Amino acid sequence: MKQHPENIVTRFAPSPSGHLHVGGARTALFCWAFAKGRGGKFVLRIEDTDQKRSSDAASIGFVKDLLWLGIAWDEGPEYEGHGGGARGPYFQAQRLPIYQRYFDALIASGKAYYAFESTDELATLRDQAKAQNKPFRYTGEFARAMTKEQGDALLASGKPAVIRFHTPPEPITIHDEILGEATIPAGETDDFVIRKADGFPTYHFAVVVDDELMGVTHVLRAQEHFNNSAKHIVLQDALGFRRPIYGHLPLIFNPDGSKMSKRDKDKVLRKAVAERAMTSPPADSVDPGIFGAWLKDKNTQLDLSASVALAHALGVVLPEINVDDFRRSGYLPEVLCNFLSLNGWSPGGDLEKFDTEFLQSHFDLERVVKTPAKFDRSKLLAFNLHALKGMPREEFVQKVTVHGKVYHAEFMARLTESQFRSLCDASHERSKTLDDLFRTNGFVTVADDLLEWDPKAVTKVLQGSVPSGLDHLRAMEAILHDCEDWSVGGLESVLKSYADQSVAGNLGSIAQPLRVALCGGVVSPPIFDTLAILGKTSSLKRIARCLASHS
RNA sequence: GGCCCCAUCGUCUAGCCUGGUCCAGGACACCUCCCUUUCAAGGAGGACACAUGGGUUCGAAUCCCAUUGGGGUCACCA
């Protein structure tokens, strides 16, 4: 690793729209690890130079997600004790006067100029170029065709104008610590806009000015920005700034190679709805009016709460896209960080499980891979399972409780503390996420007289062979009725002895009928746990009802 | 389409810079068997990759070129 004499400063500079995407989270993680591992600073800056996008509320979501992941910033927006700093403000929309100084300098030196083409005019030119299969490049000939007086007159008349940068007609070489060196031929980078008609800087301009002013030494960002570096470099040169060191990170995709997008959730829902040929929403899921409008217009998306409700009603799982989605799904932040790191970087050798402390001390640009990664959720899931299993019981219970209070309040409310505790104990070793327990144990919260039995399970487990499941159930009902010690141990001893005498100790043939009677289906925690969690009264009620309705 | 970048199992990747120790290692997924009260988990096995074609070299996954394939980018979005 090269030694950098200066103090290292990295920054994560998201636009404030929406939540933190996993790709963005990885960028933030790498920026953070790189700086913190070298005694440097990590800056968070909000790139809100697009007035069409909302700002405040959205950036809060971001900030929470970062903190949840354990990524704290040394400088940036102030939030819960983080941020602040002398080089603020850290919202670009609040830095307009700063940018203006540099615009003025560029105009004065002739390195930038006003341009008056309207968006429509430019669109037409672009369309023409596209029709000829040629790339459109703004060369400045339009602006140069007019005299200084004409230009000034137009400006004075109030005609909307942008400022464009006069890109020097030379090749631009980008040095990248990850990709190596690339030279963009002269003429490829055109006279791009640096100030929009509304007076706001464009991304390119704001980034360059702020990176300089905030002392950013290393720019780590997604590969989609690679070509932008050319623009940033010419701007830095024109402004007399130093060039930061660049590192462009490989992109993260869906397993099918498509770009990860919030629309993926909608896709899953639309597919499920289409398969079922539904024209109205499932009961208690989404407002019929909203549902109808959504169904009609494929360009609209259901909002998060509606999506979650509909997915739940349809029994489909929404793909996680944002950090918050993974949180909701019950992933551990440290596992997400670990796994995210592995997409695009590896410490070498066979090591792949590590924490963020390790990442800090080992992350380097040399080991960042150049190829895009497909995000493999099943491996993430395996990592999460492993972390959960390796966790002390108490910690697991505590984490599940916190998760449940936030995402499954109704579930929690229907269980007594000891019931919930037992459920946690029974679920610990089989939980892949903090959410599993809530999704797979619906039978616990169903009222005894509302439990429904899966017809397939009934046919398979309760009926058929002789003696049938129902026969066993009848026998066990009596045994359980007389059972004094309704603990896992007590239940085990009475039921095992029944199994010994009735089915030669083959617990499976008696546990399954019991399970179906109690839960409605063939899957539940171990049967003795299930009985204990439900309690004697509920258990007996369910068995009786099951017997009554299937005999 | 122009420009830029990339190329190892299905996936994430190690190895490549400093050619031989690689008939390519790990992990997840997959398959088989075992264990088992369901589902998981666990145990033991297994299948699976150096994109192709040319060079260079005694020798190439490793170096060079071409082809093919993939990605990015061409906004008054970031």
Q: Which residue is nearest to nucleotide B25 (CA to C1')?
A: A350
| Helix, strand, coil distribution of chain A in percent, nearest 5 | 50, 10, 35
Q: Worst-scoring range by mean pLDDT, A369-373, A429-433, A482-486? A: A482-486
Q: How far apart are CA A518 and CA A462, in angstroms?
A: 12
Domain ranges of chain A: 95-249, 263-386, 392-435, 448-550
Integer distance in angstroms from CA A423 to C1' B45? 35
Range list of H helices, A351-427: 356-362, 377-389, 393-407, 409-413, 417-427
Residue A230 confidence (pLDDT) = 97
Enumerate the β-bridge partners of residue A42.
A10
> What is the reported pTM?
0.94
| Residue % of chain A over a pLDDT of 70 | 97
CA proximity to A228, closest of A47, A98, A368: A47
pLDDT at A1: 38
Q: Which nucleotide is nearest to A499 (CA to C1')?
A: B37
Q: Which nucleotide is nearest to A196 (CA to C1')?
A: B76
Q: Please determine, for residue A77, whether its predicted confidence score (pLDDT) is greater than 70.
A: yes
The CA-atom distances, in angstroms, between A221 and each of A27, A32, A117, A227, A432 are 6, 12, 32, 12, 31
CA A28 to chain centre: 13
Q: How far is the CA of A303 from the C1' of B78 (A)?
A: 23
- pLDDT(A6) > 70: no
Only one residue has tokens 């993260």, namely A252
Tell me the mean pLDDT in the region A334-343.
Answer: 97
Q: What is the pLDDT of residue A2?
A: 40
Model confidence over A237-247: pLDDT tens digits? 999 999 999 99
* A378-423 pLDDT tens trace: 999 999 999 999 999 999 999 999 999 999 999 999 999 999 999 9
Tell me: pLDDT of A459 over 80: yes
Strand B nucleotides below 7 A of a protein CB?
A: 1-8, 10-15, 25-29, 36-42, 70-78
Tell me the pLDDT band of A491, cut-offs 50, 70 and 90: very high
Better-scored residue on pLDDT, A146 or A314: A314
Strand order in the sheet with A41-44: A41-44, A9-12, A218-222, A245-249, A172-176, A180-184
| Nearest nucleic acid nucleotide to A519, CA to C1' distance | B38
Average pLDDT over residues A178-203: 94
Residue A149 scores a pLDDT above 80: no
For the CA of A345 and the C1' of B34, the distance in angstroms is: 37
Architecture of domain A263-386: Orthogonal Bundle (1.10)
Closest nucleotide (CA of A522 to C1')? B38
Q: Is the pLDDT of residue A54 over 70?
A: no
Query: Can you say how many angstroms the Cα of residue A532 is from the centroid of all Cα atoms in its chain?
Result: 37
Residue nearest to nucleotide B71 (CA to C1'): A372
Does residue A62 carry a pLDDT above 60? yes
Which residues contact residue A164 at a Cβ distance below 8 angstroms, ignoring those fewer than 6 apart?
A: A112, A113, A114, A115, A138, A140, A143, A191, A192, A193, A194
CA of A443 to C1' of B77 (A): 48
Helix (H, G, I), strand (E, B) or coil at A20: coil
Q: pLDDT category, A145, cuts 50, 70, 90?
A: low
Q: Kindly indicate the confidence band of residue A4, based on its pLDDT and cuts at 50, 70 and 90.
A: very low
Give me the CA A382–C1' B44 separation in Å, rounded: 20
Helices assigned H by DSSP within A428-487: 436-440, 442-445, 455-457, 469-482
Question: What rounded mean pLDDT belongs to chain A?
Answer: 91
CA(A19)–C1'(B39) in Å? 34
Highest averaged pLDDT of the listed ranges A6-10, A175-179, A272-276, A468-472: A175-179
- The residue that minimises its CA distance to C1' of B39 is A523
pLDDT at site A142: 67
Q: Residue A350: its pLDDT value, please? A: 92
3-state secondary structure of A197: coil
Higher pLDDT, A154 or A197: A197
Half-sphere exposure of A513 (CA within 13 A, CB side): 26
Percent of chain A with pLDDT over 90: 68
Does the domain at residues A95-249 carry the CATH identifier 3.30.499.10?
A: no
Q: Residue A74 above 50 pLDDT?
A: yes
Fold of A448-550: Arc Repressor Mutant, subunit A (1.10.10)
From the alpha carbon of A47, which nucleotide's C1' atom is closest? B78
The mean pLDDT of A526-538, rounded to a whole number, is 94
What would the two tokens of residue A228 be?
Answer: 């932008």
Supply the pLDDT for residue A177.
96
Q: What is the mean pLDDT of residues A493-511?
A: 88
Is the pLDDT confidence value at A3 over 60? Answer: no
Q: Straight-line distance from CA A354 to C1' B49, in Å?
A: 26
Q: What is the pLDDT of residue A59?
A: 67
The helix-helix angle for A527-534 and A536-550 (nearest 10°) equals 110
